[in-house]
Amino acid sequence: MPLSTTFRRHLSLPRRIICASVATGLTVSVLFIVITLLLVCQRRHEQHDRLASDTQAYMLNAFTILTQKLSPLQALTPDDCAAAKADLTQRAAFAGNVRTIMLVENRIAFCSSATGFVHKDIRQFSPHSDLHKAVDIQLVASTPKVADRPALIFWRQNPHHQERGVLALMNINLSPYLLLIARQKAVTDMAIVAGDQALRLTDERLTKASLLPTHPLRTLTVPGYPVSILLYGTLLSLSDLLITLLLGSLLALLSGCGCFLLLTHRRRPGKEILLGIRRGDFYVEYQPLIESTTGQPYGVEALLRWTHPTVGTVSPEAFIRYAEGQNLIAPLTRHLFELVARDAHQLRDTLPEGIRIGLNLSPLHLTDGEFCEDVRRWLSAMPQDHFCYVFEITESAMVSDRNAGAIFEWLHEQGIGIAIDDFGTGHSALIYLEKFKFDYLKIDRGFVQSIGRETVTSPVLDAVITLAKKLKLKTIAEGVEDEKQARWLIKRGVTHLQGYLYSPPLRVPQLIDYFASAARTAGQRDFSARRQEA
């Protein structure tokens, strides 16, 4: 019989599992990438703020030291140049990055640290310097002594004589700034702006400040000095993006595979069966067997049922086939033994002594090394000396197990009867009926349904019943649904009947009511018979 569509749809979902795994991988990857990039951006913001603060502190410190060195020179006059030249030269040498220090009055430099007395208009090399300001800084492309390198012109006005002051021509040393931005992956350039001129780290030539790229990362000024610094770059570098995407892809693969393995493990039928056992999803229904001569209950067949918490009822054919395929039929049968033993203690007070309980066994369980121990354990758990037992075994068990004869003999020694289940639908090897000792032969419902119709199975049913009589086997016809089938079977000597005509499979409370009702009916029948005899 094909697998249940419901069971296959809900418990084996490779396409849904794959889709769920892909979705999980993508979701985890996107979340990782987004969160990582946000954290990187936040870290970059903090690094840029730190870089701006360090750069600002460095320049402020440099200008402050220069101011301190130049301040004593403010008191010198043109008459003092000869005496002050040595001091000027010394201060220029130890000031760091200073090309020349000049003393200025009325825009004329009258004393230089390089040449001593001089007479030069500063507009010749720094036309944009504003000497009316207390402090002015300009960038120039060259100076008289160094024509191929830009310089910074630093003006400091004499606080007491506005026409006097000190002018320093300075080399622009970019090494400290390069070191500062080298630690920042996302900072690609820096510009020093003074007036309308700018000098970029990536270009040794001056450029117009208006031509600088817009939207710098940071714009900072040096307090007290007319100079600003612009930082350029991006929040995220190319390496940041590539590494994050690579890690995100790897995480997507790992999380997707992990999700697939987890869902496959949780969704596989074997896992569901074990979870069902632990959750208590399985239960037993009992279908009465009727003795054809008296119409009274002769026994019950224990039928394992499964109600899944999300799927609902799962057909026995489906989950038993899956249990066999997953090598879980032995633990499933052990669970059946436990459930029957538990129910038997409730049924003992209602079901008459000697009533038969039949259980279906899989051929795979018969070959299990712990089969005999499982049966012993079950028998010890059942109420003692109250029930009789019958194991229903398919023909395939006789074919698949070379030790079938020894197992059957051992079962008989334990007082357990053996019924051939669904005889005639499998291998139908008559030699097994002569080779092994059986107690019952069960007629498949498919043969019973053919009663009254001319089908290819009709002659087979007659042959099966005739064969059972010759071998002195009791016969059980399952799937009896109407009186016509029952009369036909009774007429041909079938000893026991089972089917919805008499009762559907019942839970324990319903089974108790069924046997109580059967007992009352039997009592009334005996009373009527005695009255007729009187």
Over residues 189-227, the pLDDT tens digits come to 888 999 899 988 877 788 999 899 888 988 989 999 999
Of the CA atoms within 13 Å of residue 526, those in its CB half-sphere come to 7
Residue 6 is predicted with a pLDDT of: 46
The answer to whether the Cα torsion of 41, 42, 47, 48 is positive or negative is positive
Alpha helical stretches, state H, 96-182:
175-182
User: For the stretch 355-376, what's the b/e string if a residue is b when 16 or more beta carbons lie within 10 angstroms of its beta carbon?
Assistant: bbbbbbbbbbbbbbeebeebbe
Q: Are 191 and 198 in contact (CB under 8 A)?
A: yes
Residue 3 is predicted with a pLDDT of: 41
- The residues near 74 (Cβ < 8 Å, ≥ 6 apart) are 156, 158, 159, 160, 164, 165, 166
Tell me how far CA of residue 243 lies from CA of 36, 235, 303, 346, in angstroms: 10, 15, 60, 68
Sheet hosting strand 116-121, strand order edge to edge:
116-121, 108-112, 98-105, 164-171, 151-157, 135-140
Residue 531 is predicted with a pLDDT of: 40
Dist CA 380 CA 375 (whole Å): 9
Residue 77 is predicted with a pLDDT of: 78
Dist CA 54 CA 222 (whole Å): 11
- Other C-beta atoms closer than 10 Å to the C-beta of 315 total 16
- The residues near 136 (Cβ < 8 Å, ≥ 6 apart) are 129, 130, 153, 154, 155, 226
Amino acid at 276: G
Sheet hosting strand 187-194, strand order edge to edge:
206-208, 197-200, 187-194, 225-233, 218-222
DSSP letter (8 states) at residue 429: -
Q: State both tokens at 336.
A: 């059946």
Dist CA 369 CA 284 (whole Å): 25
For the chain, what percentages of helix, strand and coil (3-state, to nearest 5) are there? 50, 25, 30
Dist CA 390 CA 439 (whole Å): 9
Q: Which residues pair with 443 in a beta bridge?
A: 423, 477
Distance of CA 419 to the CA centre of its chain: 49
- Other C-beta atoms closer than 10 Å to the C-beta of 106 total 9
* Long-range contacts of 507-511, Cβ-Cβ distance < 8 Å, separation of 24 or more: 507/283, 507/285, 507/286, 508/286, 508/343, 508/346, 508/347, 511/286, 511/288, 511/300, 511/347, 511/350, 511/351
Nearest to 288 by CA among 441, 462, 527, 517: 517
Residues with pLDDT less than 50, the chain: 1-7, 10-12, 427-428, 527-534
Dist CA 457 CA 469 (whole Å): 19
Dist CA 165 CA 154 (whole Å): 11
Residue 532 is predicted with a pLDDT of: 45
Label residue 504 left, alpha or beta by phi (over 0 means left) and psi (-120 to 50 means alpha). beta
Measured between its terminal Cα atoms, the distance across the chain in Å is 56
